[in-house]
Amino acid sequence: MAIEKNIYGVMNGKDVYAFIITNAKGTKAQIIEKGATLDKLLLADKNGEIIDILVGHDTLDGHINRSDYQGVVVGQYANRIKNGAFCIDGVEYNVTKNEKGITCLHGGGEYSSAHWKGEEAGSNSVCFSYTSPDGKEGFPGNVQLKVTYTLDDCDCLSIDYSAISDRKTVINLTNHAYFNLNGYNNGDVLNHLLQIDADRFTAIDENSIPTGELPSVEGTPFDFRKEKTIGKDIEEDFVQLKNGMGYDHNFCITDYDGTLKTIAIAKGDKSGIVMEVKSTEPGVQLYTGNFLDGSVIGKGQLPINKRSAFCLETQVYPDSPNHPEWPRCIYEANEEYKSKTVFCFSK
Ligand code: GLA
């Protein structure tokens, strides 16, 4: 186990460091202080070749100016809030509407753009801290955040999230890594196998806002309970797929109880790399890179193409601040929010 700390660039006059955690197998996770971004994940494929399975950027300029949330931590409320508005105890809060001027997406971008302070937290862990000021992007509370990345010798990368606000507020944190288990430069993900442990999903309207319905996946393209390729049903004539331009939906984890459990398994068809996702969260957003269009240049000077990656963003359901009947996202002043997601790799 070893942690390296290198200068990655300068943002707003402040040095941005990259931390590289290397485990006994030689697997490496690189995380940078801008957005507490998971920047690189290098591991051996079935032939022993080392590949980077994260689609994204390899310069700070790319992360700052051309990012579509690749690898970042998003908050204060990951995913969407309808009309950028919600109420807590009869007080209405209006937050940044950064999507089409009508929706708050990924908390308006504050957390993902922020400079997080990284510190070694043991031989295989790095902890990133950031304090979000009260009222930033419209969200109540000075929120103290810690996100800890740990890479163990079994090739499990854990992300532990903790947040404490001094006012009652909404909290929903996730990581927005774009995975291509065949390697970032190895085509689309349509032939990846995927299984998600969800009986239901969050139906959305044409603006990707939850309608409030939680339809059964049974008999629909959303049934990933048995593994199938990501591409098998993605072009089906199904209104929910049209609304998301592909998969861009929250899957409701079956038998959610807040404990850490396996919620999804993905496999790279060419690399043989298997990724098991464990989480304490009630939902996971499957996003299949529908809005990527090749116009942005990413790692290795290559265009980031449509469906060149998939995201599995563990979370509470989108727009939960407006759905008190769903798993909760509101935290009392000084009550700690905790969440954990683990990505375990094998071949
Ligand atoms: C999330 C959203 C998508 C998209 C991406 C970033 O996955 O659900 O609609 O906005 O983030 O582009």
What is the DSSP code string of 58-118?
SSHHHHHHS-SSTT-EE-SB-SEEGGGEEEETTEEEE----BTTTBEEGGGGHHHHSBPEE
Q: What is the pLDDT of residue 300?
A: 96
Q: What is the pLDDT of residue 115?
A: 98
Q: What is the pLDDT of residue 186?
A: 98
Cα of 345 from ligand 1 centre, angstroms: 24
Q: What is the pLDDT of residue 150?
A: 98
Nearest CA residue ID for atom 12, ligand 1: 68
Nearest CA residue ID for atom 6, ligand 1: 68
Nearest CA residue ID for atom 10, ligand 1: 105
Question: What secondary structure, in 3-state letters, does 144-198 show?
Answer: EEEEEEEECCCCEEEEEEEEEECCCEECECEECCEECCCCCCCCCCCCCEEEECE
* Closest ligand 1 atom, residue 313 Cα: 7
Give the helix/strand (H/E) hosting 294: none
| Closest CA relative to residue 239, chosen from 206, 207, 215 | 206
**Paired tokens of 268:** 């790279």
Amino acid identity for residue 214 in this structure: L
> Residue 144 phi/psi, 5° resolution?
-95, 125
Nearest CA residue ID for atom 8, ligand 1: 248
Cα of 175 from ligand 1 centre, angstroms: 12
Cα of 70 from ligand 1 centre, angstroms: 10
Low-confidence ranges of the chain (pLDDT < 70): 1
Q: Residue-wise over 52-72: b if at least 16 C-beta within 10 A, else e? A: bbbbbbbebebbbebbbbbbb
176 and 283 Cβ atoms separated by less than 8 Å: no
In the structure, which protein residues have their CB atom closer than 6 angstroms to any atom of ligand 1?
A: 68-69, 79, 105, 208, 248, 285, 287, 291, 311, 313
Give pTM, 2 decimals. 0.98
Separation between Cα atoms, residue 13 and residue 16, nearest integer Å: 9
* Closest ligand 1 atom, residue 69 Cα: 6
163 and 144 Cβ atoms separated by less than 8 Å: yes
Q: What is the pLDDT of residue 1?
A: 61
Cα of 4 from ligand 1 centre, angstroms: 31
Looking at residue 215, the DSSP 8-state letter turns out to be -
Give the helix/strand (H/E) hosting 228: strand 228-229
Q: What is the pLDDT of residue 2?
A: 87
Nearest CA residue ID for atom 7, ligand 1: 287
Q: Among all residues, which ones are annotated catalytic?
A: 176, 313
Q: Is the peptide bond before 70 cis (omega within 30 degrees of 0)?
A: no
* Closest ligand 1 atom, residue 292 Cα: 12
What is the DSSP code string of 317-328?
PTTGGG-TTSSP
* Closest ligand 1 atom, residue 248 Cα: 8
Q: Which of 248, 293, 310, 317 to probe ligand 1 with, by most ligand atoms within 8 A of CB?
A: 248
